[in-house]
Amino acid sequence: FPSHDNTAGLTMNYQSQKFSNDYWVKSSLLVEPSCLVQLSNSLQVYSKLSIATMKTTKRIDHLVIAMRYDYSKSIVFNVDAGLSQANSDCYVGISYFPSEDFKIQLRFDCLSAATAFQFAYTKKRLGFILGSKYNHALGLSPFVGITTQL
């Protein structure tokens, strides 16, 4: 999450899907208010509420609360908690920044005991992510990603 002073935001997404039988159209509106509060130079708290309304189903809500503690310039600790109608979860993570462009991250899922790691490299506005998650039931799930900032 971003490291700025106190900020607030609002994200709105509309999605519509039309399936091959041409009779079923599924659409949803997602609204996500969020805020970031910097409690000190090294401690930040972030919260986001996701409210989705779907034409065919009832409303779906999801609340995320996260804390970030900057132990030093190169080590950051994160704790994220999520709560929805379907489930709740908690994540604990540590990030190491050996340079300004490179990040190594470990993350532990408290409820399912899944462990994830990733390596991220960012240069200017383009980023590359390589990592994997291990789940006891599903095994190893590797992932690769490319990110950009506009």
CA dist., res. 81 & res. 25, Å (int): 33
Q: What is the pLDDT of residue 1?
A: 44
What is the residue-level pLDDT of the chain in tens, covering all 150 positions? 444 578 888 888 887 766 666 566 677 788 888 898 999 989 999 998 888 776 656 666 888 899 999 999 999 999 999 888 777 888 999 999 999 899 999 999 887 778 999 999 998 889 999 999 888 878 889 999 998 876
Read off the pLDDT of residues 7-33 as tens digits, 9 standing for 90 and up. Answer: 888 888 887 766 666 566 677 788 888
Structure tokens belonging to residue 28 = 């949803």
- Say if residues 106 and 92 touch (Cβ distance below 8 Å): no
Could you tell me the pTM of the whole model?
0.69
Task: Find the helix or strand (DSSP H, E) in which 64 lies.
Answer: strand 60-70
What are the backbone angles phi and psi of residue 4, rounded to the nearest 5°? -125, 180
Compute the distance between CA of residue 111 and CA of residue 90 in angstroms, rounded to an integer.
7
Q: Is the dihedral of CA 33, 39, 40, 46 positive or negative?
A: negative
